[in-house]
Chains A and B, each alone.
Chain A
């Protein structure tokens, strides 16, 4: 935050100096174009690996593109027909609604538990902190596919440890309990897995952020009689605000695009109740070979994410500017 402010401050006089001597045209060009020249290679790479596929995706979403077209590398332009098709599809409406609810719940729970764990990390002894941190890193380091497979075994209908354990501790008869018969229960299991996987990164980042909260501010607040919740609300959260915004927007992007957890957990054949946007897009593209329709779903997904994260990003930029000023 400080650094950004300093660069801005250093640049301002340089620019006015250049404007003061207009005769030296080449110097102006060199001075103005140098920053662009320096970021050009990075920009080209970003455009190449992100921009180009995105343009192709949008182009694909405007075409009828089935198997025959795939084999011949030649689609038929159909304008916005793919979009009108999916918007009229009740499955799409259901999927969109489910995905939004799923995202809100998962982002909320991930951030809540991550914040609690980060606060806990600050207060425990060094030994426990190292232990907890190591545990978090292990979870983080587990590749998602094997992790989901492990969860799948635990919730297995016949041999799952969850059913055995719940029956054993007297929580009811969970023998041959099917966790995925009722979609609400199935999504609860998926939420557990997604939140479990999301916590490490969020908690470690938040803990790092917490170490930046000035001690003297906290002490001053406590001397003024602020209670723990008030300190958290009026000192900790405002300091962490930029970080929280970044984490919220990243979590939103991740949870809106959840795919692996559903796909692997449900043996690559999820029932329609379990379609999230990414699953729906994959199903349309790679299972039913309607690549145009699948791309249209993906384009709608991106559009929603752009709108949602725009608000976050604007807030982030603002708070960074405020912090730097």
Chain B
């Protein structure tokens, strides 16, 4: 009985969000479970956050568990369905709407101002955390794609860094002329299912995935602007890429490291995978360069998808205040700065973007012209149904014409987005 009252009291206190004032931090006990994704934070950052947390809460144990990206949604669904999900979890920014809308994440709207830099969080990440006007997560970091290229191959083929899509094709053709006799060579390696590298072409011509009016979504991937972007991309792929037209981008860094590829469209962190001592080729590093995906308008860059992750707190967590404290550390100035300088990612706040230098700075600059996927709780279902990936495969393999493939995809996207979940 006494325990029950104690527990009830603790819950009330926790619900008020004032645990840290009510109980001396040194007396707090318990275990905080955190799920971070593979490759997101360098180990030194995680260790630093845990050390700072431990200094304040010596009797609280923090378990940081690293999850793999493939099949993570199934794992998250199962965890949220159980009674004891992890207290804190990193969520891909396209997943938050789904979990926030369905009641899996704690609403932290009231505590927003308690997080450092919350006034200067990246708009696009903040949007991804916001569902029906409520805040369900703290932005963690962002990533955007640019073209990684081989400076030595460009020099040997007499190609220059392109500033328009036409120049991109011209540079690629020079490379194909120079190296094309190697049957494994691709000037621009573009696996058929690589939707997030195709999106900039759609957006650059003024196209979009879907548009919302009121509560109703309509597919826009079959608009003439979208189709125009896709036909430019199809031309590039057919002339410059020998990548698997039905494959996905998971292997592109290993493929690039083999040395038969001049350009890939990639995230900033992929430089690290390409030059990894074990699975990659470190000797390529001095020859790697990057440039933003050029626009069809000379001198401009194409809008890119702003990927990234957010940190959510489970609604069922018994340690709401502790969870917010931990999230606040990882999302705060000290460790976000390290995420930039050590991890090479784009931080969650505009106030720290200037810390990037070298190649990461090019990716950070590309992020300035960025877009996000339709912010709907059903968007995750469009992703897991592979609608856009299958559309690209149909186009690249020539199984469907662009008008037919985009029409089918557009209808399917509208159906999924408008479904009552």
Contacts and interface: CB of A to CB of B under 8 A. Distances in A.
B77 A67 contact: yes
Contacts, number: 67
B174 interface: no
Nearest to B393: A271
B361 to A, nearest CB: 32
A71 B76 CA distance: 11
Interface string A51-83: 000000000000000111011110000000000
A156 to B, nearest CB: 9
B389 A269 contact: yes
A287 B246 CA distance: 20
A268 B69 CA distance: 12
A180 B393 CA distance: 11
Nearest to A156: B244
A71 B81 contact: yes
B390 A286 contact: no
Interface in B165-203: 183-184, 193
Given A67-B77, A72-B103, A269-B248, 11 more contacts: A67-B421, A68-B101, A71-B103, A158-B244, A178-B245, A267-B248, A269-B193, A271-B246, A283-B384, A288-B385, A289-B381
B24 interface: no
A136 to B, nearest CB: 32
A267 B99 CA distance: 25
Interface of A: 66-68, 70-73, 157-158, 175-176, 178, 180-181, 267-269, 271-272, 283, 286-289
Contact of A158 (B74, B77, B184, B393): B184
Given A158-B184, A269-B193, A288 B103 contact: no
B103 A180 contact: no
The 8 closest A-B pairs by CB, nearest first: A287-B384, A157-B244, A67-B102, A68-B102, A70-B81, A288-B381, A286-B74, A66-B421
B247 A66 contact: no
Interface in B366-393: 381, 384-386, 389-390, 393
Interface residues of B, number: 33
19 contacts: A66-B421, A67-B98, A67-B99, A68-B101, A68-B102, A70-B77, A157-B244, A158-B255, A176-B183, A180-B246, A181-B245, A268-B70, A268-B71, A286-B77, A287-B74, A287-B384, A288-B384, A288-B385, A289-B98
A287 B385 contact: yes
Contacts of A271: 246, 386, 390, 393
B104 interface: yes
| Overall SS of chain B's interface | loop
Interface in B218-253: 242, 244-248, 250
Contacts of B255: 158
A23 B250 CA distance: 79
B148 to A, nearest CB: 19
Contacts of B247: 157
Contacts of B401: none
Contacts of B101: 68
Contacts of A267: 248, 250
Nearest to A269: B386
Contact of A178 (B77, B244, B381): B244
B301 to A, nearest CB: 29
Interface string B20-38: 0000000000000000000
A176 B184 CA distance: 8
A68 B246 contact: no
Interface in B249-290: 250, 255
Nearest to A291: B77
Nearest to A287: B384
